[in-house]
Homo-oligomer: A and B are copies of this chain.
């Protein structure tokens, strides 16, 4: 590891009927796919208080992304000018972290069923956070 590198490990993996990028819509809220999150054994305690009905942000590692792309045509439309990737939701970017706001539908030991999740089967999950309630309810 060289200086400045930040090393993550997957806390789980997506199990999805979506097997290839071409099957996924551009944004998760444009689809209704259900998918399972299988947590790693080491990280199951971290997810043990999640319940059906919870709204969470899944953070994934978009492992099929191109990390040396700094500008893209928005939504792949070449009639729109290329924009710096920090102004787009392109998965091609220096650190390809995906953000997915989903609802927990079902919980089994070490597994969560969520919707909608447009991520390909096998995508690593790196974090799960609750969607924040209004300030006065924390």
Give A contacts to B, CB under 8 Å: 1, 4-11, 26-27, 29-30, 43, 45-50, 54, 56-57, 59, 61, 70-71, 74-75, 83-89, 93-95, 97, 99, 124, 126-130, 132, 135, 138
Task: Contacts A88-B130, A128-B86 given; indicate if A43 touches B94 (C-beta within 8 A).
Answer: yes
In the assembled complex, which residues on chain B have CB atoms less than 8 Å from the CB atom of A126?
Answer: 6, 95, 97
- The docked-state distance in angstroms from the alpha carbon of A107 to that of B129 is 30
Whether the Cβ atoms of A94 and B61 lie closer than 8 Å is: no
Name the one of B11, B94, B135 contacting A9, with C-beta atoms under 8 angstroms.
B94
* Chain B residues near A26 (CB-CB < 8 A): 138
Interface-central residue, A8, A11, A93, A130, by most chain B CB under 10 Å: A8
- Is the beta-carbon distance between B138 and A27 smaller than 8 angstroms? yes
Q: What residue of chain B has the Cβ atom nearest to residue A54's Cβ?
A: B87
Flag if A95 contacts B9 (CB, 8 Å).
Answer: yes
- B56 near A86 (CB under 8 angstroms)? yes
Question: Is the Cβ of A27 less than 8 Å from the Cβ of B132?
Answer: yes
Q: Judging by beta carbons under 8 Å apart, are B4 and A48 in contact?
A: no
